């Protein structure tokens, strides 16, 4: 598999070329003229001098990795080659169980206008088991489900929001397992009120008309009534359902609460809800890469989102969230598997040859850029997060 196609550029063409140096250029005495991994555009001002020097040394060509966006097939191929360690993700089976259960609860609400108490019990068990998994596994964005069919969006979205709310709650309150479990449960249930919204509105591709939007805005309150009628009394769970569309500035719905008047559980769910919606591919829009979604949420901190929650998301995912495919300054390609922590641009990267190494009995090839200061990320190539759940 050749992903980055190295091109051989005659030195006279260097001034009009773009890309990253793929092979170090040095004088016969070993003085480096062009280091590997550096973007050639950085030398724009001095390119004439560099070319002169290379000519004097008898160098005729420079090898460059031209800038390029990876296709979806390339990204799939990279994931195949890099990531085979299911142990560090939330199990696909658990994800499928949650998604299928939300689907069956939706059907039950549509058929019988209620959530049966045994369904709530099953959701509680799934929520607890999901929490256990997510507290163990750092690669949260790699555990999220990808929507394949338009009509499964709400169910997969419920799973993803449950995972993300639990992840963020754990960052804000590490070790508060009971609180995290409740917020995960709230995440699973947060959109159940949508079961009472006409399917044509729910699955409508593109923006809603004013009256359709007014109907859609009723789903938090409908969800709370359904949950209370089925025996849910916990305020942390109910506040996720009722408040996940409230905004920090007071411009949300249904109650237009502001700032800390909005329960924290709902403020966490608001970030998770929008992050998953932005990074989902729908019939009418492409999936936004996680790093753009993080930036967008950060830009809206203090307006739509609680700044503390938005910051927790940035610090825990970093500027290259797990799933980002990057090339390193030495030309190697890998996938980010855990966030940056305090240093937002130095995450842990698993290199492309990791799966093969593991099959050959070796250890996967991780590079923690926080400990490898001689290396850095030279370019962002694409996004490989969200996996097919095969439902």
State in angstroms the smallest separation of the CB of 232 from Fe ion.
17
Q: Indicate the SS3 state at residue 288.
A: coil
Contacts of 228 by beta carbon, 8 Å cutoff, 6+ apart:
238
CA 382 – CA 325 distance, rounded (Å): 5
Q: How far is the CB of 191 from Fe ion (least distance, A)?
A: 5
Query: Of 188, 254, 262, 263, which Cα lies nearest the Cα of 221?
Result: 254
Number of residues that bind Fe ion (CB under 5 A): 1
Q: Choose the stretch contacting Fe ion; rule: CB under 5 A; options: 52-60, 105-113, 185-193, 295-303.
A: 185-193
> Using the rule CB under 5 A, is 74 a contact of Fe ion?
no
Closer Cβ to Fe ion, 191 or 236, answer by number: 191
Compute the distance between CA of residue 275 and CA of residue 304 in angstroms, rounded to an integer.
12
Stretch of residues binding Fe ion (CB under 5 A), selected from 41-49, 95-103, 191-199, 376-384: 191-199
Q: Are 233 and 209 in contact (CB under 8 A)?
A: no
- Between the alpha carbon of residue 42 and those of residues 14, 18, 330, the distances in Å are 12, 10, 16
As measured in angstroms, the least distance from the Cβ of 202 to Fe ion is: 11
**Is 145 within 8 Å of 160 (Cβ atoms)?**
yes
Give me the least distance between CB of 314 and Fe ion, in Å please: 23
Q: What x/- string results for residues 80 through 119 when contact with Fe ion is judged by CB under 5 A?
A: ----------------------------------------
The answer to whether residues 177 and 204 touch, using CB atoms and an 8 Å cutoff, is no
- Alpha-carbon distance of 170 to 28, in angstroms, equals 55
Pick 94 or 219: Cβ nearer Fe ion: 219
Among 81, 94, 191, 333, contact with Fe ion (rule: CB under 5 A): 191
Q: Which stretch binds Fe ion (CB under 5 A): 188-196, 247-255, 288-296, 307-315?
A: 188-196
Q: Which residues bind Fe ion (CB under 5 A)?
A: 191
């Amino acid at each position: 598999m050749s992903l980055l196609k190295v091109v051989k550029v005659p030195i006279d063409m260097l001034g009009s070329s773009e890309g990253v140096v793929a092979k170090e250029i040095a004088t016969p005495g070993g003085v480096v003229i062009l280091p590997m991994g550096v973007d050639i555009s950085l030398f724009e001002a001095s390119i004439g001098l560099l070319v002169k020097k290379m000519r004097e040394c008898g160098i005729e060509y420079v090898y460059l990795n031209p800038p390029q966006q990876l296709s979806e097939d390339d990204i799939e191929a990279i994931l195949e080659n890099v990531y085979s360690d299911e142990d560090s993700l939330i199990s696909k089976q658990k994800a499928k169980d949650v998604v299928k259960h939300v689907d069956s609860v939706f059907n039950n609400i549509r058929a019988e206008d209620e959530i049966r108490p045994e369904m709530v019990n099953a959701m509680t068990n799934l929520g607890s088991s999901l929490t256990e998994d997510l507290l163990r596994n750092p690669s949260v964005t790699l555990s999220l489900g990808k929507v394949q069919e338009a009509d499964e969006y709400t169910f997969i979205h419920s799973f993803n929001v449950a995972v993300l709310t639990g992840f963020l709650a754990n960052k804000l309150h590490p070790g508060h397992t009971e609180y995290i479990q409740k917020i995960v449960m709230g995440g699973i249930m947060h959109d159940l009120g949508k079961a009472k919204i006409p399917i044509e509105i729910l699955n409508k591709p593109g923006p809603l008309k004013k009256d359709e939007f007014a109907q859609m805005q009723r789903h938090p309150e409908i969800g709370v009534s359904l949950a209370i009628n089925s025996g849910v009394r916990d305020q942390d769970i109910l506040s996720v359902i009722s408040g996940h569309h409230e905004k920090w500035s007071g411009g949300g719905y249904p109650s237009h609460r502001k700032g800390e008047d909005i329960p924290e559980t709902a403020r966490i769910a608001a970030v998770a809800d929008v992050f998953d919606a932005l990074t989902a591919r729908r019939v009418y829009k492409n999936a936004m890469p996680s790093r753009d979604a993080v930036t967008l949420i950060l830009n809206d901190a203090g307006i739509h989102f609680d700044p503390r929650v938005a910051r927790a998301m940035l610090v825990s995912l970093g500027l290259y969230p797990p799933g980002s495919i990057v090339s390193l300054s030495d030309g190697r390609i890998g996938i980010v598997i855990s966030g940056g922590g305090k240093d937002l641009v130095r995450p842990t990267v698993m290199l492309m040859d990791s799966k093969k190494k593991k099959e050959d009995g070796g250890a996967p090839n991780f590079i923690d850029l926080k400990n490898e200061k001689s290396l850095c990320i030279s370019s962002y190539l694409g996004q490989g997060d969200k996996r097919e759940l095969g439902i």
